[in-house]
A = this chain, B = another copy of it.
Amino acid sequence: MSKGGRKTIKDVAAAAGVSIGTASRALNRRGRVSETTVARVTSAAQRLGYQPDAIAQSLRLKSTMVVGMLVTDLSNPFFAGVIRAAERRLQESGYALLVGNTDNDLTREQQLIDLFRRRRVDGLILGPCEAENTGMIGDLEAADMPVICYDRDFDEGLSGLHVAHRKAAYDATRHLLNLGHERIALLSSSIKLSPGRERIAGYRQALEERGLPFREDLIRAHQSSMEFVKSEAYSLMSIRPAPTAFISLGTRMLAGTLEGLRDNGWRVPEDVSVLTVGDTDLARLYVPAISTVTWDLNSVGENLAELMLRRLAPETGSEPRRIMIPTKLIDRGSCARPGRLIGD
């Protein structure tokens, strides 16, 4: 036995009375080995508790069986759910998932990508990040690093997945328009990220179909708004004539929005209708329950994993694929016809 207590294939070979190469072939049932030696070797391996060293295998086989994934914030429940599902699916196929947080910072993203390349991950799943650089992705693919994009712009010829944020925002806006709202405030995630851009596009489209003006002053979609939702909500509330509905389209934005409304004494839905994104506990149990447009995080994770696995096993046909995850609107008590006018 080698020192350190860890058994190597050398120990197994010695115990089985064969050469290292034969032991390897026996364990992997590869090449020409007799059944009797296979039995001897596997039993020796069993007895010694031998586990092949993944590092050495990676070096030799040029494959680490690890895929990396970059998100802005692992503790964001939207990402956490996706990661969980993706990890499960990948693990079924023998891959591990290494996650990195970019904090929505471009430099950090690049650092992590470099780090992951050094670590020789077999593939990379890239979540949204500010100022997305589609060229960089092309470079990665050119350097033989499979990339799957998630809610992020990417060029033709690559595979990726988008949640239908545009349709979601479109549906949400239309829903409120149908109830008779005409001044609809929009709190959205940053315009620097694909989901933010898509949401605003959907919102705009719904308005324009009704011949209503697209008013910049009714929109808040800065980088910073994540932390300052409440004050953004305040500033929207001070517009006159006041908006009669709020669409709150960011992960942790609903809480700030509701706080802002409550602090000013606006009642939901009598004074203002509210619509949000994601079916959180807060949305379900708030009084009134908040209407929301939502989608299946599990499906996102599984599809991302599936896309990656397809890219990693080229024989399954590797023409690039784009997947669009549908959203659905759940209507609850927080949306109603516009009521009394506020502040006039």
Contacts and interface: CB of A to CB of B under 8 A. Distances in A.
A145 to B, nearest CB: 10
Interface size class of A (residues with CB under 8 A): 35 or more
A344 interface: no
Contact of A87 (B74, B96, B259): B74
A101 B117 contact: no
Given A51-B118, A53-B120, A84-B73, A98 B96 contact: yes
A313 interface: no
Interface stretch (A56-64, A164-172, A213-221): A56-64
Q: How many copies does the complex hold?
A: 2
B87 A101 contact: yes
A5 interface: yes
A82 to B, nearest CB: 9
A305 to B, nearest CB: 14
B286 A286 contact: yes
Interface string A71-96: 00111010011011001100000001
A255 B55 contact: no
A49 to B, nearest CB: 10
A23 interface: no
B282 A5 contact: no
A282 B286 CA distance: 8
B64 A74 contact: no
Interface string A142-180: 011000000000000000000000000000000000000
Contacts of A55: 55, 58-59, 64, 119-120
Interface of A: 4-6, 51-56, 58-59, 64, 73-75, 77, 80-81, 83-84, 87-88, 96-101, 114-115, 117-120, 143-144, 252, 254-255, 258-259, 262, 280-282, 284-287
